[in-house]
Amino acid sequence: MTKSPIGGNRSGRKLGQKVKKGKLKASSRRWLERHINDPYVQRAQLEGYRARAAFKLLEIDEKHKILAGARRIIDLGAAPGSWSQIAAKVTNSTDADPRVAAIDFLEMDPIPGVRFLQMDFLDPEAPDRLKEAIGGTPDLVISDMAAPTTGHRQTDHLRTMHLCEVAAHFAVDVLAEGGHFLAKTFQGGTERELLNMLKQNFRQVIHVKPASSRAESVEMFLLAKGFKGRRATETEEPAEDAATE
């Protein structure tokens, strides 16, 4: 069970540490102070995860059970690899029998049992490369992709939503029947066309914001559960409306 840090932390490190003034800009110093004092960052270090993002996936799974029974997983926007670490563990993936494929345009240190592709997911060759790397039909597609921020909120939202949309169509193309899709999105409204497509193809579509997602962050996660299969038709009952949790 994943529990939110309460009070202090489990690393033994004191919270409230300050970064000495030096050549750092004030904004950079504030970011660094927030980072080193973040209990999720400290807990990730203690438990061997590469990033605090691990707890976002674990918290979502705790309620929605998307990892339970997963045999093969594709991780989009994987670097630095905390979600891939979890995926390899739950699938019992090994280098001899890899059941996790991951992709990112950034470098990522190797993870046992994970086949990593360093390339842009928007590269036309990426989907086929991922299908080949996974070696079978995935039960789960997870995406923590976000476009590099420009500082302009609307532009950042649109760029990340484009990645979410491409990831969603990829999931529909590769998932096993009954599989799930999880992707990062931003507050500000998911495109209606994307939601309609997901509702047509999945049994349930909801928005989730786990406790480990910083309160001031505009990120949310779009979760589509129970893939109907590629034979789903428009005559089937639509999925539940996307709600926020």
Shared domain check, 67 and 39: no
Shared domain check, 100 and 31: no
Residue 2 lies in a domain: no
Residue 101 lies in a domain: yes
Shared domain check, 111 and 232: yes
159 class by beta-carbon count within 10 Å (0-12 exposed, 13-18 middle, 19+ buried): middle
Q: What mean pLDDT comes out for the span 208-224? A: 83
Shared domain check, 116 and 37: no
Asked whether residue 120 is marked as a ligand-binding residue, the answer is: yes
Shared domain check, 155 and 239: yes
Residue 99 lies in a domain: yes
pLDDT band for 78, please (50, 70, 90 cuts): very high
Q: What is the pLDDT of residue 5?
A: 41
Residues contacting 86, CB < 8 A, separation 6+: 49, 54, 57, 58, 67
* Number of CB atoms found within 10 A of residue 163's CB: 20
Shared domain check, 61 and 43: no
Q: What is the pLDDT of residue 23?
A: 56
Shared domain check, 174 and 140: yes
Residue 9 lies in a domain: no
Q: What is the pLDDT of residue 235?
A: 47
Residue 30 lies in a domain: yes
Asked whether residue 128 is marked as a ligand-binding residue, the answer is: no
Residue 3 lies in a domain: no
Of 44-53, 63-72, 130-139, 178-187, the one with minimum mean pLDDT is: 44-53
Q: What is the pLDDT of residue 219?
A: 85
- Between 47 and 229, name the one with better pLDDT: 229
Q: Which range marks the domain in which residue 29 is found?
A: 18-47
- Please give the positions annotated as active site: 184
Instruction: Spell out the SS3 assignment of the chain.
Output: CCCCCCCCCCCCCCCCCCCCCCCCCHHHHHHHHHHHCCHHHHHHHHHCCCCCCHHHHHHHHHHHCCCCCCCCEEEECCCCCHHHHHHHHHHCCCCCCCCEEEEECCCCCCCCCEEEEECCCCCCCHHHHHHHHHCCCCCEEEECCCCCCCCCHHHHHHHHHHHHHHHHHHHHHHCCCCCEEEEEEECCCCCHHHHHHHHHHEEEEEEECCCCCCCCCCEEEEEEEEECCCCCCCCCCCCEEEEEC
pTM, full prediction? 0.79
Shared domain check, 84 and 200: yes
Asked whether residue 81 is marked as a ligand-binding residue, the answer is: yes
Shared domain check, 63 and 27: no
pLDDT band for 211, please (50, 70, 90 cuts): confident
Shared domain check, 140 and 80: yes
pLDDT at 44 > cutoff 50: yes
Q: What is the pLDDT of residue 239?
A: 52
Shared domain check, 220 and 168: yes
- What are the backbone angles phi and psi of residue 86, rounded to the nearest 5°? -65, -45
pLDDT digits (tens, 9 = 90+) for 192-206: 889 999 999 999 999
107: CATH = 3.40.50.150
Total domains in the chain come to 2
Residue 232 lies in a domain: yes
- Between 49 and 46, name the one with better pLDDT: 49
Residue 106 lies in a domain: yes
Shared domain check, 216 and 121: yes
Q: What is the pLDDT of residue 83?
A: 97
